[in-house]
Chain A
Amino acid sequence: MIKIHRATTGMLDRGTGNDAGKAVMISRDLWFRYPSSSFWVLRGVNLEVFPGEIVLIVGSSGSGKTTLLRALTGVGVWVYGAEVKGEIYLAGRRLEKLSLEELRKSIQVVNQNPYTHFIEYVIGEDLRSSAEAIHGKIVGNRVLRKIVAALKLEDVLNKRFFELSGGQLRRVAVAKALLWDPKVIVMDEPLMWLDDEGVEEIKEILSITRSLGKALIVFEHRFIGILHLASKVLALRDGTLVPIDHEELRNPRIARDFHQYFASEEGSDRGGSELLAAEHVWFSYEKNNEWVLKDVDLVIKDPWDTVVIYGPNGSGKSTLLKILSGYLSPRKGRVLRKSRAVYLPQNVYLFFTEESLEKEFREVCTSLGKGVDCVEKGVKTMRSLGVNADLKESPFNLSWGQAIRASISIATCGEGDVVLLMDEPFTGLTYAERLFLALALKKIKAPKVMTVSNKETLSFVPQARVYELRDGYLREVQTRVDPDIIALAERCRQLGLYGAS
């Protein structure tokens, strides 16, 4: 059972709320800490949001963006039992004075994991039951029809929510939020895991929602695509919000020649025998079903090789990785593996199986029949990748960026050849963290096959052979490095929008 704590907070004691003006949300000197923690995650957050406005909040992994979201919606207090100081006004009323229904009609959230928004499998049924519960049967269905038309959801109503792409899923989650007709909608990393088409979808959703007069607060790492829509940009740094000039992010000046980032540090032992090869691979999940992969060929033999499989969500990139790892078998063709192939999932925390980093290394080394040297080598690699966490630390406590780098060092700690199969390793990272990861990967002497679903990420791997997977076919393509993205990464680092190492 979900226990709701209406904890006593310092928020109750200050200000009158009459001076809220026309802003639909005001936060004044907001402090927040989780129960049984002495650390204040938020330390004096001030924020004003007006109707029809999009506020973009950026920040490094672990900077407290999700915590700010929890504070602004009251979820932090009522679900987590956190301690809050300061004032929050929603539509001119103090947050803690609102009933649950009033709260839901004032602010809604599309959280990082949109799967959690649904109770019924079929989208149409889920939305209809919510609409009817909020507005009654007749009005509810009328409201739902309007929202479905506005967000162009007609085609997905009969689908089950786990069959939708990330973009579609978030679109439906926004529709569910709009059912309450809230003044403010908060979106937590809406672009996470989305391909280029999905990003376009989110841009359209933001525009439509804004045109409905809603205020939007968007927390996002990967903000360049939606920067032009934001009326203000704020960085969450050291527990406070700091305004950032749009122009600084839109036209960053590169401090040094970006090519030097990717100057070769590789060893001389290039080439050699095949480590992994896919030969004329055809794959479908069900017999007589549509082919996911058609006549795919891929050879990896260079220990410094980096191969990028680029393609939209649902194009079969992860499937190809799972075939290369040996988890799925091709229906036609074959896969030759002459080395270990280790799969790093998109949700990198699913890679960790032990309670400490030390045990992670030890278990992998034991499974390979290796001893202490293997563990030491792995730890050394991890340190060289900028992960300085204590070895007794649980890998599940690492930040997203650290977790990816730690998983790479764990996967490569044994002696001998290993091919890294990385599913969207750059997702969920700030631009600065992506640059850092790209540079870290260059130090690893192991071929890497990684999937990427958006073009901007390709700029971080200029040395890679890039293949596009579309309609089941894998074709090598030439890509152009965008120096502006590298410059933006550098600028983000200077602005402190960088993950903890």
Chain B
Amino acid sequence: MMSYIRDFAYIFVTSKKANNFGFLTKIISSGWLILSLSLPYIVPGVRLSPAQTVAAVLYGLTLLSYLAGPRRVFGMAKLLALFVVLGLFLDIISVALGSEPSNPLEVSLRAMRVFAIVVSLSTAFQLFTITEMRYLLTILGLRSYSELFSAAMAQLPATFIAFSESYVATKSKLGGRKIAALIKPLVVDSVVSSRYLAEALYMHGIPPAPKPKLLNMPRDLAMIVSVITITVLPLLSI
């Protein structure tokens, strides 16, 4: 279980291959993917076909495999699948408790859509470097938040390490049933680390984010064409 969580966590750390693509392409591809999957939740009356959802999931997983490696993606997929199964289980319980039964196909599609959104968000984290995210937030007028965001993201790996240590210690100390108790030491550790972080930031500051390279052809072209194709084609054919 822990290795799945670790793999899931690493999905949020920028890929070393992120620099292969231009900034604009990253915005277009991840933005398009997220937007197309979110539309049914945002705009009333808009529905996503099953083919579109499946295509988006497959595309997202392929892109993630390229960026983070298939093993990490497999680990993440298993963890997400677990949550989907849990959701289905809750659906069954609610039916047993007297709720109206849902259409199994609709339930599966909903689960798949959530899965697709998480996958597409993960691709965004894999694609954007922290400096690029800072730049993006800055041009959106969110400079202070961009600095906070950078600091938080930079501490993510150290938090994963602390989480893993705390998990082993708590499990061996109290057994598996009280594993939620690991939250407390993690919170304290985060507070202590944030003090050091504040000191380091005071002494170094956060450099302004330079304008990133917008395009990196021809890789960018391939990515833009593929992401649009994968989301639009199923719509045209159905």
Instruction: Give the B-binding residues of A (Cβ under 8 A).
Output: 1-2, 4, 70, 73, 75, 78-79, 100, 104, 107-109, 111-113, 115-122, 125, 129-130, 132-133, 158, 160-162, 176-177, 286-287, 322, 325-327, 340-347, 349-355, 363-364, 367, 396, 410-411, 421
Which B residues touch A353, using CB under 8 A? 170, 173-174, 178, 181-182, 184-185
Flag if B207 contacts A352 (CB, 8 Å). Answer: no
Flag if B131 contacts A347 (CB, 8 Å). Answer: no
Main secondary structure of the interface of B (DSSP, over half): helix
Flag if A340 contacts B172 (CB, 8 Å). Answer: yes
B148 contacts the other chain (Cβ, under 8 Å)? Answer: yes
Flag if A119 contacts B154 (CB, 8 Å). Answer: yes
Which B residues touch A326, using CB under 8 A? 172
| C-alpha gap A41/B89 in the complex (Å) | 57
B44 contacts the other chain (Cβ, under 8 Å)? Answer: no
- Across the interface, A79 reaches (CB within 8 A) one of B151, B192, B199, namely B199
- Across the interface, A162 reaches (CB within 8 A) one of B157, B172, B199, namely B157
A132-B210 contact in complex given A353-B170, A353-B174, C-beta closer than 8 Å: yes
**0/1 interface trace, chain B 91-113, chain A, CB 8 Å (1 if under):** 00000000000000000000000
**Residues of B132-150 contacting chain A, CB below 8 A:** 144, 148, 150
Flag if A121 contacts B14 (CB, 8 Å). Answer: yes
Q: How far is the CB of B190 from chain A (nearest CB, A)?
A: 11
What total count of A-B pairs have CB within 8 Å?
A: 162
- Across the interface, A120 reaches (CB within 8 A) one of B154, B161, B181, namely B154
Flag if A129 contacts B185 (CB, 8 Å). Answer: no
Flag if B208 contacts A133 (CB, 8 Å). Answer: yes
B228 contacts the other chain (Cβ, under 8 Å)? Answer: no
When C-beta atoms are compared, the residue in chain A nearest to B150 turns out to be A119
Flag if A115 contacts B189 (CB, 8 Å). Answer: no
**0/1 interface trace, chain B 204-222, chain A, CB 8 Å (1 if under):** 1111111000000000000
| C-alpha gap A152/B35 in the complex (Å) | 46
- Residue in B148, B165, B197 whose Cβ sees the most chain A Cβ within 10 Å: B165
A121-B130 contact in complex given A112-B196, A346-B165, A347-B162, C-beta closer than 8 Å: yes
A349-B185 contact in complex given A2-B198, A342-B172, A344-B169, C-beta closer than 8 Å: yes
Flag if B202 contacts A4 (CB, 8 Å). Answer: yes
Q: How far is the CB of B82 from chain A (nearest CB, A)?
A: 19
| A-B contact list, 12 entries, CB within 8 Å | A75-B199, A78-B202, A115-B155, A116-B199, A119-B130, A120-B131, A325-B168, A327-B168, A343-B172, A350-B162, A351-B170, A411-B173
| C-alpha gap A341/B175 in the complex (Å) | 11
B166 contacts the other chain (Cβ, under 8 Å)? Answer: yes
Flag if B169 contacts A345 (CB, 8 Å). Answer: yes
| C-alpha gap A342/B61 in the complex (Å) | 38
Which A residues touch B202, using CB under 8 A? 2, 4, 75, 78-79
Give how many B residues have a beta carbon under 8 Å from the other chain's beta carbons: 56
B90 contacts the other chain (Cβ, under 8 Å)? Answer: no
- Across the interface, A122 reaches (CB within 8 A) one of B16, B71, B171, namely B16
Flag if B144 contacts A345 (CB, 8 Å). Answer: no
Q: How far is the CB of A286 from chain B (nearest CB, A)?
A: 6
Which A residues touch B16, using CB under 8 A? 122, 158, 160
Q: How far is the CB of A219 from chain B (nearest CB, A)?
A: 14
Question: Lowest 6 CB-CB distances: which A-B pairs, in order?
Answer: A133-B207, A162-B157, A353-B181, A345-B165, A116-B197, A116-B196
When C-beta atoms are compared, the residue in chain A nearest to B200 turns out to be A116
A133-B205 contact in complex given A116-B196, A120-B131, C-beta closer than 8 Å: yes
A327-B131 contact in complex given A119-B206, A129-B207, C-beta closer than 8 Å: no
Flag if A354 contacts B184 (CB, 8 Å). Answer: yes
Flag if A322 contacts B173 (CB, 8 Å). Answer: no
B193 contacts the other chain (Cβ, under 8 Å)? Answer: yes
Which A residues touch B150, using CB under 8 A? 119
B13 contacts the other chain (Cβ, under 8 Å)? Answer: yes
